[in-house]
Amino acid sequence: MSEQAIPEEVNQEQANIAPEMDERNVPTENNGENVSSENTEQDLNALSNGEKEDKQSSEEDENKVEDENNDDKAEEKTEEKTEGNETINDEEKTTEEKTTEEKPSEEKVEPVEEQKPEEEAVKKISFTIPRDCVLKETEELLVAKTFLMKNSTKTDTNVYDHLSQIVMSILDSKIDNAVDIFETLSTQIKKEKFVPDSFNSYGELRREKEKSSELEDAQIKMELFQNDNEDGRGDDGNELPDLMSLSSLFEWAGISLGKEETFLINTSMQKLMIDKGLKSMRFWGKIYGTKKNYYIVEADQKEEDDDDEVYGEDDAVNPEEEEEGFLENENENEKENTENENGNENENEENEIQESQIEEPEYPVPKIKIKKPNTLSKEIKTGINKYVYYVCNYVGGPWYKLADVIPEKLQLSRKIRKYFTGDLNREIISYPPFEGSEAQYLRCQIARISAATTICPTGYYIFDSEDGEPDDSEGPQPIIINTEFEALSNDQLLDISNWVHHVPYILPQGRTSWENPFGSEEEEENEDEGSDEEGGSDEENEGEKVEPETGPQLLTPISQDEENDDIPAWVSKFCSRTLAPQFNPVCVSSTRWPGAHTVALSDKFSSIYIGDGMKCYGNTYLSAFHIPQPMTTIMNEYQENNEEKEITEQIDPTVEEETAFEEEQAEKLRKKEEDEEGTEEEEEEEEED
C-alpha cells in the first residue's frame, strides 16, 4: 500500500530522530519499536487528531518531563514533533490494523492500546509527576523570561533588556549584516548605558574632586552671609565704613577690587568687628604677594585682647642678655646682637657675652667704655601703634592680627626691598639681615605707608587742646575730629595744600616720638621732645650726646612734603573730564608710594593702598636701582710698627740649640760658684786669722 510505503521512507528519513524518540519514550522494547514507527509516520501527517488527544498529551507530558531543561523553542519543536507523531501514530494504528500480521497487528492494536495505559502506568511509576505541577507552555516561557530579566549585580542591567535594546537599535538603524557586527553593537550599547550617578561608578567621585576648591571657596563665602545681625545692631559706637559707596568713589579713580569682592570684604569686616569687639575699622588696602595677597584692615581696639594669636611676635627668649631690666620686651635683646650698625658696639656686646659666660676670669677683662644703645621700646597704643592691623589672604578667609611695630625692625625695613609672598611666617632673608618674619616686615611697611600717605582735608582734624600743655605729652599731640568741619568744595580739594597728614611722622629711629636710646629710666620721662617741637638738646648724664630726631609736625599740609626729585610728591586730579565739579571726585595720589590714593567728593573722602608695598625712591636713573647697604669693612690685620719693634717675630730655637745654650749657662754658673766659693773661703780664712 502506498501509505505503507511512505511511512517506510519516512522511517528512513526520520532515522535520526528515532533514537531521540527512543530516549524519550520509556516503554518496553516492543512498544518502542511500535512507537518509533508510529512516531515516524505521524511526522508526515501534520494534521492533529482529536481522537487521541489524551494519548498525545500524555506523550507530550512524557516529552516535557524529559525535556525540562531544554529551551522554549526546542520544547515547542519537540511538542510539535510529538504531536505530529501522535497523529501518525493513530493512523499507523489504523493502517496497521489492516496489515498482514494478524496477531501482531491485533496485538499491536491491543498492545498499542494497552501500551498507552501501560505507558501511562509506567510513567506514573517512573516519574511520579502529576500533570498539574508541570508548567504549561506559556508559564514556562514566563519563567525563562524572568530569569533573563534578572539584573546583574555588577552593572544593574540584564540580558533581556540588553538583547531587546540591541534588537531595537538594529531595527532603528536598519544596519545591514547586523549579525556580523552583533558583538560590536552589543559593546556599544553597553557603553552608552554607563550611568555616572550609579553608586559604584567612579565618575561621581572624580567630579567632586575637581570642583572641590571652587566649592570650598563658595562655601566659605556663604558663611560670610550667615551673620547674626542681632549683636551688630546693639553696638552703637562702632564705626564701620560704608565700603560700597566708597568703592564707587574709588572706581572713578580707576582703582577697584571688583564690586562683588568689595562687598564680601565688607561683610567679612563686619564679622571681624563683632568677633573682636573693635571700636572702629577701616579697609586699609591690598598688598600683592607673589603667591598670595593680603587684604588689610586697620582697626581701633576697645580693650586689650590678649587671647589673639599675634603674628610677628618674637617668642624666643635669650637668657644671657637679661641685663636691661627696664626694657619691656626682653626679646629685643637678641636683636641687639645682630642689628647694631655700629661695629664697635657689636664687639663689645660679644665681650659682654663672654663676660657672663666666663665665671672666673683668669685675667682682667677690659672695661667697656663705649656705651651701647639700649633697645628702643615699642610705642604701645599710641603713635605708630595706635591702630591694630588685621590681614587675611583671601576674602572670607581667617583674619590674622599683626604684632606692633618694633622700632629696630622699622629702621631695617627702610633698608631692604623685598617682595611679599603671602606667607606671614616666612623669614625674610636679606642684607642687612632683617631677621624677622614676613608679618613683621608687613607691619613695618604698613606703618610707613600709613604715616606717609594717610591724609585728610584741612580742618577735618584739629589739635585737642584739652589734655594739658604740649610740653608734657610724651607722644604726638592728640587730634580729634573737628565737629565744625565744613566740607571743602571740590575745587579746593584739588589744591594739595588743602590736604594735611593726620598720622604722625615716623622718625628715623622708628618711632613717632623721640626716645633716647642711651638714656636711663629717669630720662625717659624727661623726654619732652615730641615730634611737635623743633629740636632742643637734651642733656644726657652719660654716654654720647645724641641729637633727638624730629620730623614734620602733625597736620602739616602735604604740599610741603619733600619732592620726589623733580616731580612733586603728591599729584591731584579730577577723576572725570566732563562731569561738573560738584560731582567730580578728586583723586590725590602719592608718587613716593605708588598705589596710595585718596579719593574725595565733597564731604566724603577715603584713603586706600593697592600695590606691592614698595616705595619709590626717586625719579632719576640712579634712584631706580636699590642700592643695598654696603657690607661692613673687613677687619685688618695687626699693623706691625717696625720702628719701635714692640713685638717682633723670632724663630724658636731648636732643641739642640736649647740644650747647647743651657749647657753654656750651666758652665758659666759653675764657674761663678767656684769663684765665689774661692772668695768665700779666702774670706773665711782671713776672718779666722
Partner 1 sequence: MDDIDYLSMGGFTINYEDRAGLNCSLRILKDAEKYKNVSLWGRIIGVQKDYFIAQCWNDDIFDRKYFYSTDTITWLQLPEITDEELKDISEIYSRFIGDPSYEYQLQNQTPQKKEPINEEKRLSGVIKMINYDVEIVPRGAYYQDRLRNILSNEKFKGLTEKDMIDLASYFHFRSGFKLSLETVEDRISIDQSIDIFDNIEKDKPDGIWSLQVEKGGSTITLRSLLWPGYFFFHAPKTEMRQCKYGSMYNGYGIKNVNLGIML
Does position 620 interact with partner 1 (CB under 8 A)? The reply is: yes
Binder to partner 1 among 26, 109, 129, 614 (CB under 8 A)?
Answer: 614
Does position 565 interact with partner 1 (CB under 8 A)? The reply is: yes
Binder to partner 1 among 625, 638, 644, 654 (CB under 8 A)?
Answer: 625
Number of residues that bind partner 1 (CB under 8 A): 52
Does position 369 interact with partner 1 (CB under 8 A)? The reply is: no
Does position 289 interact with partner 1 (CB under 8 A)? The reply is: yes
Phi then psi for 455, rounded to 5 degrees?
-135, 165
Does position 210 interact with partner 1 (CB under 8 A)? The reply is: yes
Residue type, 80: E
Q: How far is the CB of 341 from partner 1 (least distance, A)?
A: 20
Q: How far is the CB of 528 from partner 1 (least distance, A)?
A: 41
H, E, C per residue of 286-326? EECCCCCCEEEEEEEECCCCCCCCEECCCCCCCCCCCCCCC
d(CA 251, CA 80): 92
Q: How far is the CB of 560 from partner 1 (least distance, A)?
A: 19
Does position 326 interact with partner 1 (CB under 8 A)? The reply is: no
Binder to partner 1 among 190, 418, 426, 615 (CB under 8 A)?
Answer: 418
Beta strands in 56-212 (DSSP E): none
Does position 415 interact with partner 1 (CB under 8 A)? The reply is: no
Binder to partner 1 among 94, 187, 245, 619 (CB under 8 A)?
Answer: 619
Does position 283 interact with partner 1 (CB under 8 A)? The reply is: no
Does position 660 interact with partner 1 (CB under 8 A)? The reply is: no
Burial of 402 (0-12, 13-18, 19+ CB in 10 A): buried
Collect all residues with Cβ–Cβ distance below 8 Å to 459 and sequence separation of at least 6: 482, 485, 486, 488
Within 589-608, the residues that bind partner 1 by CB under 8 A are 591, 594
Strand-strand pairing, 479-481 and 455-457 = unpaired
Q: In terms of CB distance, is 196 or 628 closer to partner 1? A: 628
Q: In terms of CB distance, is 487 or 614 closer to partner 1? A: 614
The answer to whether 517 touches 454, Cβ cutoff 8 Å, is no
Binder to partner 1 among 148, 368, 487, 610 (CB under 8 A)?
Answer: 610
Collect all residues with Cβ–Cβ distance below 8 Å to 642 and sequence separation of at least 6: none
The answer to whether 179 touches 156, Cβ cutoff 8 Å, is no
Binder to partner 1 among 151, 576, 629, 679 (CB under 8 A)?
Answer: 576
Does position 523 interact with partner 1 (CB under 8 A)? The reply is: no
Does position 624 interact with partner 1 (CB under 8 A)? The reply is: yes
Q: Which stretch binds partner 1 (CB under 8 A): 27-35, 122-130, 544-552, 612-620?
A: 612-620
Residue type, 182: F
Q: Which of 166, 12, 17 is nearest to 77 (CA)?
A: 17
For 23, 53, 61, 67, 116, the CA distances from 128, given in Å and listed in that order, are 18, 21, 12, 16, 16
Does position 358 interact with partner 1 (CB under 8 A)? The reply is: no
Three-state SS at 487: coil
Q: In terms of CB distance, is 255 or 558 closer to partner 1? A: 255
Q: How far is the CB of 571 from partner 1 (least distance, A)?
A: 6
Does position 577 interact with partner 1 (CB under 8 A)? The reply is: yes
Three-state SS at 256: coil
Does position 615 interact with partner 1 (CB under 8 A)? The reply is: no
CA max distance for the chain: 201
Q: In terms of CB distance, is 133 or 622 closer to partner 1? A: 622
Binder to partner 1 among 271, 286, 511, 592 (CB under 8 A)?
Answer: 286
Does position 567 interact with partner 1 (CB under 8 A)? The reply is: yes
Q: Is the dihedral of CA 515, 609, 280, 442 positive or negative?
A: negative
Collect all residues with Cβ–Cβ distance below 8 Å to 311 and sequence separation of at least 6: 400, 401, 402, 403, 424, 425, 437, 439
Q: For residue 134, what is the DSSP state?
A: S
Burial of 243 (0-12, 13-18, 19+ CB in 10 A): buried
The answer to whether 338 touches 428, Cβ cutoff 8 Å, is no
155: how many CB neighbours lie within 10 A of its CB? 15
Does position 279 interact with partner 1 (CB under 8 A)? The reply is: no
Q: Which stretch binds partner 1 (CB under 8 A): 355-363, 610-618, 629-637, 653-661?
A: 610-618
Q: Which of 551, 542, 538, 537 is nearest to 518 (CA)?
A: 542
Q: Which stretch binds partner 1 (CB under 8 A): 67-75, 338-346, 442-450, 572-580?
A: 572-580
Does position 293 interact with partner 1 (CB under 8 A)? The reply is: yes
Q: Which stretch binds partner 1 (CB under 8 A): 58-66, 302-310, 344-352, 565-573?
A: 565-573
Site string for partner 1, 225-264 (x = CB under 8 A): --------------------------xxxxxxxxx-x---
Angle between helices 2-13 and 29-44 (to 10 degrees): 100
Binding site for partner 1 (CB under 8 A): 210, 213-218, 251-259, 261, 286, 288-293, 417-419, 565-568, 571, 573, 575-579, 591, 594, 610-612, 614, 619-621, 623-626, 628
